[in-house]
Each structure stands twice: as C-alpha cells, then as structure tokens.
Amino acid sequence: MASEHPLRSRWASLSLVAVWLFSTPGLAQVGTPDTARPADAPVQAPSVAGALPAGPQGSATEARPADGDPGPDAPAALEQGRAEEPSTAGLSLDARPASARQDLADDAPQRPDFKPWAVPVAVVPGLLFHGLAPLVAGDTHTAKRLFALEGTGLGLIALGGVPIVLTGASRRTIAPLYAVTLAGFSALGISALANLYAVTSPAFDPGVAPPMLPPLELELGYQHVNDTAFDYRHFVTVGAQARFESLRLLGTVRVDPAEGNTQVRLGGAWRLLGAPERSLVGTDGSALDVEAFGQFHRYPTEGFAMVSGEVGLRGRLAMSRISPALAGSFAEVSLGTSLETYTYAGAVSDGNLHDQLLYTFGYGVWLGRGGGPFRGEAMLYYDHRKDSFVGGLRSRGGGIVGAFGLRGRALLTESWGVAAEVQAGGALVGRLSLIYALGGER
Amino acid sequence: MRVRVKVWAMAALVVTGCGMRPAENRAVMDSKVGQAQQGGLTLAVADGLAAVRELAPGTLVLWGNAPAFSARVEVGADAPSDWMVTVRNAMPDAVLVVQEEGGAALTPEPLPQALPTVKVWRVALRAGATVRLSVAPPDAESREPFRFLAMADVQEALPSVGDIYERMRRDDSARFILFAGDLTESGTRAELLEFQERLEAGSRIPLYATLGNHETFSRDAAEYHALVGRGSQSFVFKGVRFTVLDSSNGTLDPWVEEQLDGWLESGRQGTHVVSMHVPPQDPVGMRGGGFANRGEAAGLVGKMARAGVDLTLYGHIHSFYSFTNAGIPAFIAGGGGALPETFDGVGRHYLAVDVGAEDGLHQAALVRVD
C-alpha cells in the first residue's frame, strides 16, 4: 500500500502515522456516513471520485472542474448528479485507472449531512473525546479515524512525556523525547479541531486547495506588539515571496521606526514531495518541504542583536485523506532546529551558540475556490519557538510552552488581497498586511 | 486516584497564571513584606528583608531573609513596654541593636536558644517612641572574603533534605545558604512550615531564598510571602551585593526589572551576585527550560553584564551546569533532591562559593551530597 503513494511512508513517520495508512479516500474503510448524495460525486482530490461539497442539506450544490473554478458546464453536470472527471494535470496522487477508481469510489464514504445537534457535542464533551461529534452525527467513518488520531496523540505524549519526567528532562535525551511529545500534542490538537470541523463543515461549501499560487507575492503591512518586557510596539512589515518550480524564496523585514527594533528574515523552501505551488492543479495540496532560514534581529533599546540559522521540514496534509467530512481542511506540522548567537553592546563578550527545537502544528481551512467570495486559507496553530516577537507563554511552568496563533491570507481580487495574523504567547501580536500577487492566483 | 487528581491539578496550575504580567501580583506582594501594625506597634522592615511572622502585644517574631536588616518601629501610646523580639533564620552570631530616634541606644537582653539560627532578645520600648531595630552579625560591614553555599529545588525531597544540611555542617566557613527557588513541591503553608522546621533543626546557618515556580502553585506564592519573604530583593553582606529575583514565570515583571535597574546601579562598583529560579538561558537550548522569550533573556543577561555582575546562580533544572551568560559566570545548582536529571552523573549537590568585596568571585566548587 505504501508504495502506491510517495508521500505516505514519509508522512507516516510523523504524528499522523496510524491514520495516514488508511487515509487515502479510495482505500478508506467504509463507514456509515449519513448522506443523500450519489456515491460517484467528485471530490476535490483528483485521484478518486469522492464527495462534492455539500450544501446544508447534504446535497450537491455546485460542480467544478479540477482547477477549482466553476466552469460553464457545471450546471449541466449537476443535473446529471455528477461533475466531470477532474483533470490529471500536475502530480497525480493516484496512478490507478479511472475505472478502478470509480469502483472504489462507489464504496467510498461521502460527506455527511449537517447535524446541528452534533456541534455542541464537538465542544463538550468532544474536546475530550475527539470522534464523538461525528459519531453522534452518524458518521462512524470519521469518528473512527479521529478516535484513532486522538489515541495516537495520547500515545505519543505518553511515549515522549513519561520518559521526560523519568529522566528529569535529561540533556542527553530531551530533543527526541520532546519532539515525540510535541508530535503527540499535534495529533491531539489536530484531532480536536477536526472533530469540530467534521460536524460544522457540512453546513457550508468547503474551500479547496489552490490550483496555482502566484510566482511573486509582495506584502506591506503593520504589526502591533504588546509585550511588557519591551518598549517596541508599532512595526512596519515588508515581505516578498517568489515561487519557482520546486523552490520558494521568502524574505521579510519588520521595523519599529520609532524604537529601532529590526528583524530581517530570509530563506527558502524546497518541495520534496507534492506538486510545486505554481502548479498544484489536480492535487489536494498535500506536500512536504525542507526549509532553511537565516535571521537577524536587532534590539537597540536592550543593547543586543541576535543572528540565527535554522533548518526544518514542513508538511501539509489534506484532511480529506482522513475522511471526506474533513474536505476543505488541512493539517500542518513542522519540525526543525535553529542555532543562534547574540552580540551585546558594550564590553560584553559572549561566544555562546544556543540551539532551539522548532516545532509547529496547525489546523487550517482553504477559503473559497469552491464558491466563496475570495481565495486563500486560514490556520489555527501552535508555535514552540521562543525567539519570535510573541515568545512563549509565561506560565507557572516557567517558559516551556510556546505560543498560539491564527493566521489567514486571502486574495480579494485577481491580484490584491490581505493577510492577517494574531498570536498569543508571552506577548500579544497582531499583523495586517496588503498583498499584491504578481501574475494573479487561481 | 489522588495521584491522578494531583497531576491534573498541577497541569491546570501550570497552564493558568499565564498572561501579560503573570508575576505582577507577586511584585505587589513583595512591597508589603515586612510591614505590619498590631499590638500597639507599627513595623516596617527596610527593603522587606524579613517577614513578620507574629506581632502581638509584647511579642514580635520575624523570619529573616538576609544576613543583616533593619526595621523602623513606631511604639503606640498604649503599647506595652516589655517586648520579646525573636528573629528566626538569623545569622548565628547576629546581634540586635535598638536605637531610639533622637535618643540613646537601648540595651536588648539576649536570651539563650537551642537552635543556632533562632535569636531572641528582651527589649524595653518606651510608649510613643520611634526606634530602629538592626539585626546583623558583628562583621556584616567588613570587607573580608567569605563563603556562602548555593542550592535549589528541594521540592518533593523535603523529607530527606536533612542529608544536605548534614553535609553542609562539615564546612565551618560557610556563612549562609542562598536558595534559588522551589523549596517545596506545591508551596502550601504546611510544606513551607515543614521546610523551615527542618532547616532550623538541621542547619547551623540560615537560608536566604527566592521563590520558584512550585511556590506559585499555592495562592500565587501568598504563603511564601507570608512565611519566607520577598521573591525579589537585594541585600549587602560584607561589601558583596546579593540580588535575588522572582523569575518563576520565565520572565521578570516590569516592576521587578525597574527595581533591578536600581540594584544593578548600586552594585556596579562592587561585587554583585544575582540569583533567580528560572535561568534566562537554558544551556541546553533544545529543552528550552529558560525564559519564555529569548529576546527578554538576552536583554537581561546583557544588562547584568554591562552592570558588572560577577556571578549568576540559578535553579529550576535539576542538575549541575557551569556556563556563561553574556560572559558572566553562571551556575545551575538544582541538586536539592527534586526529581533529578538522569545521565548527568551528579546527584544531590550544592555549590560552595567564595567571594570577596574587593576581588569578586574567587571560586565556585561543586559539593556532592550523595
């Protein structure tokens, strides 16, 4: 099974191991989803026919070609109860013949109906039992996977956390144990949010992954930081992102013109698995990148500067692979490390190199492209790093916990859009930017 | 079942208390340490260097949190004239000097005590007078080098902390213990009282402390402030300035940082030792046991370095580390017995530190207990 999908074995090594192995829609176990739609309605992933975004009553309300834009033939396709076969342009995630895929699709679970009474269950007691809400809604297929994901998360937390306690967070074992523990929290957090999404998403048309992101994206914005430990507050932010085939280059500068605090961050990402961002058409948006960044951060009031370098892996998984009920959402996990050094003003000598575990996980949704007014994405996330503006939570456990955030990006016209981010850690950070997408985005 | 409840309660406590200024309440409580009005007496311990444990007509009991401190006392018109002044956690050779404002020095009568760190004097105070009480060993103002001991993180190992005091008793030269937080597991009144009873029973020298994150688990360290004293304070002994800071949330409250600026300025020309529980920078960065914001940490250690701080002492991490932060010699001595870091080959330990007012840090030696 694993050899059919180049991404699968790598992803399985991360936190979504158990669920991933059964996550390809065409290979998924048949549950008992409550659906009124025909089984052969198309799904956003091009590899198999699956579910079409359902309206409040669970019926297909829109058909679209694989590039995400409703085409002129869509109404006709709707009348026939199915849309045209998605394009196989770009990286195909399933090499099986169309007939075989169709056979599988006949047995594949569908997006369930919206059951409003399941939504509060997703909160209480759903925050403790992550498959409970879809179970109450009659979607046993999703429920099983979310219970499995939660169990995986709890297992990883125990696997990493118990030895951390028993070893007293030993310097010799802390890095891998910490990574495993955080992976557990990732799975737990993702399953909790997926539990909520699974029962709310049937109420609306889910977004789909972008078929193509612009070759060049420019950003200009404002960032506000409220940190009682620092005088800086108001930042001007400038950013640029260039996308080539598998390579993506990024750069941001954040400056407080009054106080002088300046952060410059430059780096890039190389797509190891998945289609390049400029030609995502026909894919579900799942990908794995290796990233490298350099950062310079000057603190003039505090009298020091930090220079750091970091490398890491960042993966994104379309949650429709877990269950059709999760179509339109994705999970993202990154793992890396950084090395940093500080230079101090005055006659202060310090040649120390400080390492840091970098870890993020998030749960996001694609916005639009399936009928919404704009195109983009939003993600709720946790970030473990402590050298950012937001820093970690100043908790009664000291400074071990990172920060939480919500970020979104959406194009409102062909080329213009906005990006926004709020973060809560030791500080509160808010950022709002204007985006110009050169070449446009679909 | 009780263990499970305790684990959940601990987790909840760790997560709660987060906020923009999680240590603000404790900084406010600091300012009230050593202030009391009762039994016809109004008392103000200078810089909050002692906690008022009892104040009743004829009785004053203080818990000293510095080798030398003074207090201003206003004696009410209806106050009794006969007073028993008790200082617990005092230097064994401490003496009490009582000076009436604008008048002659009074002569307190020392009363013999079984415990070396408990000092009791009988004093006659005139109704309506204002007096200054000074408690200090005779050599507190001298500038000769001396030795103190540094340790942290006893927590759940409280029942066996006597082993450490026993090992310390072999060293006659040590003047006091500087403790970098986490005296107890949960910071409850009962635990802190037990800590102090064991200290008085086992140690021949006093212990001056700052609080750790575990002390905040009970009413945000209210019991600590009532029984031990301030989380952030500064005192001078034999020409060496000692500053302890409340960093138990992985940050310094802005109010504490403001006070620190003053203490750094005061200590700029001499030897200055700074201690706090959570180290600004964990020498094992992957673990991240330091401050919540690395920028704040770098700003703090840079500031201390520019102010000429000679030595930094930390806890929180249950092992021994010797490193530098912004060039300042730094030690983590978290060997008080709390769940130890494994594979470090250290075990329970403390530091014996030799310092002098004129020439700073002489040496810091690791002393193994087990």
The dihedrals phi and psi of A299, each to the nearest 5 degrees, come to: -115, 90
Other Cβ atoms closer than 10 A to A36: 12
Task: Between A16 and A274, name the one with better pLDDT.
Answer: A274
Judged against a pLDDT cut of 50, whether residue A28 lies above it is answered with: no
**Measured distance CA(B56)–CA(A173) in Å, rounded:** 55
Predicted local confidence at residue A398, as pLDDT: 80
Domain formed by B29-136, architecture: Sandwich (2.60)
Task: Evaluate the omega torsion of the peptide bond into residue A125 and state whether it is cis, within 30 degrees of 0.
Answer: yes
Counting residues of chain A whose pLDDT is more than 90, the rounded percentage is 60
The amino acid at residue A403 is A
Pairwise CB contact (< 8 Å): A340 & B13? no
pLDDT above 70: percentage of residues in chain A: 74
Which has the closest alpha carbon to B288: A241, A393, A198, A230? A393
| Cβ distance of A395 and B14 shorter than 8 Å | yes
Where is B61: in which H helix or E strand?
Answer: strand B59-64
The C-alpha of B336 sits at a distance from chain A's nearest C-alpha, in angstroms, of 13
Tokens standing for A324? 């059709």
- Asked if the Cβ–Cβ distance from A396 to B213 is below 8 Å, we say yes
pLDDT surpasses 50 at B137: yes
Q: In this structure, what is the dihedral angle of CA atoms B267, B271, B276, B280, given to the nearest 10 degrees? A: 90
**Interstrand relation of B105-106 and B109-111 (parallel, antiparallel or unpaired):** unpaired
Nearest to A393 among B292, B305, B342 (CB): B292
Is B109 buried (19+), middle (13-18) or exposed (0-12) by CB count in 10 A? exposed
Q: How far apart are CA A223 and CA B110, in angstroms?
A: 64
Residues whose CB is less than 8 angstroms from the CB of residue B110 and which lie 6 or more positions away in sequence, other chains included: B95, B96, B119, B120, B121
Interface of B with A in 275-294 (CB under 8 A): 278, 281, 284-294
Pick from B21, B281, B302: CB nearest A304? B302
Residue A196, SS3? helix
Picking from B208, B45, B250, the residue whose alpha carbon sits closest to that of residue B134 is B45
Q: pLDDT of A320-367, one tens digit each?
A: 999 999 999 999 999 999 999 999 998 888 889 999 999 999 999 999
Residue A429 has pLDDT above 70, yes or no: yes
Closest CA to B276 of B266, B294, B261, B290: B290
Cα–Cα distance for residue pair A427/A392, rounded to 1 Å: 8
Instruction: In whole angstroms, give the CA distance from residue A5 to residue A322.
Output: 15
- A301 to chain B: closest CA residue: B299
A345:B22 CB<8 A:
no
Residues linked to residue B82 through DSSP beta bridges, in sequence order:
B124
Query: Do A302 and B303 lie within an 8 Å CB cutoff?
Result: yes
**pLDDT band (50, 70, 90) for residue A51:** very low
A221, A238, A395, A414, A433 from A436: Cα distances, Å: 11, 12, 39, 9, 10
**In this structure, what DSSP letter does residue B67 have?**
S
pLDDT tens-digit readout, A107-146: 556 778 888 888 999 888 988 999 999 999 999 999 999 9
> DSSP string of A124-188?
TTTTTSTTHHHHHTT-HHHHHHHHHHHHHHHHHHHHHHHHHHHTTS-TTTHHHHHHHHHHHHHHH
CA distance B28 to chain A (A): 16
Q: What is the DSSP letter of A18?
A: H
Min Cα separation B8/chain A (Å): 14
Q: Which of A165, A349, A399 sits opposite B291 (nearest CB)?
A: A399
CA-based nearest residue in chain B for residue A390:
B293
Length of chain A, please?
A: 442
Interface contact flag, B288 A399, Cβ < 8 Å = yes
Question: Per-residue pLDDT tens for B28-65?
Answer: 999 999 999 998 999 999 999 999 999 999 999 999 99
pLDDT band with cut points at 50, 70 and 90 for residue A65 = very low
Of A167, A354, A427, the CB nearest to B341: A167
Q: Which residue of A has its CA nearest to B14?
A: A396
Amino acid at the residue B167: R
Alpha-carbon distance of B109 to A118, in angstroms, equals 77
Q: CB-hemisphere CA count at 13 Å for A354?
A: 30
Return d(Cα A168, Cα B149) in angstroms, integer. 24
B146-368 maps to CATH 3.60.21.10: yes
Residues of B in contact with A391 (CB under 8 A): 292-296
Q: What is the mean pLDDT of residues B121-150?
A: 96
Partner-chain contact A169 B289, CB within 8 Å: yes
pLDDT band, very low/low/confident/very high, at B6 (cuts 50, 70, 90): low
User: Which domains does chain A show, CATH number per domain?
Assistant: 2-145+196-203 (no CATH), 216-438 (2.40.160.40)
Tokens 């994901």: give the residue. A149
Whether residue A10 is predicted with pLDDT greater than 80 in this model: the reply is no
Residue of A nearest to B294 (CA): A387
Give the span between the Cα atoms of A278 and A245, in whole angstroms.
7
Q: Are A375 and B267 in contact (CB under 8 A)?
A: no
Cα gap A404→A314, rounded to integer Å? 17
Enumerate the residues of chain B whose CB falls inside 8 A of the CB of residue A174: 284, 286-287
Residue A95 burial class via C-beta count within 10 angstroms: exposed 0-12, middle 13-18, buried 19 and up: exposed
Domain boundaries, chain B: 29-136, 146-368
> Looking at chain A, which residue has its C-alpha nearest residue B334?
A168
Of A262, A337, A387, A395, which to mutate for an interface test with B (greatest number of B Cβ within 10 Å)? A395
pLDDT computed for residue A372 by the predictor = 59
- CB atoms inside a 10 Å sphere around CB A210: 25
User: What six digits make up the tokens of A38?
Assistant: 């025909």
Contact between chains at B250 and A392 (C-beta distance less than 8 A): yes
Q: Which residues of A touch B287 (CB under 8 A)?
A: 169, 171, 174-175, 178
Q: What is the pLDDT of residue A107?
A: 55
Instruction: Pick left, alpha or beta for residue B36 (phi over 0 → left; psi -120 to 50 → alpha; otherwise beta).
Output: beta
Give phi and psi for A17, each to the nearest 5. Answer: -50, -65
Taking a C-beta distance cutoff of 8 angstroms, is the pair A305, A297 a contact? yes
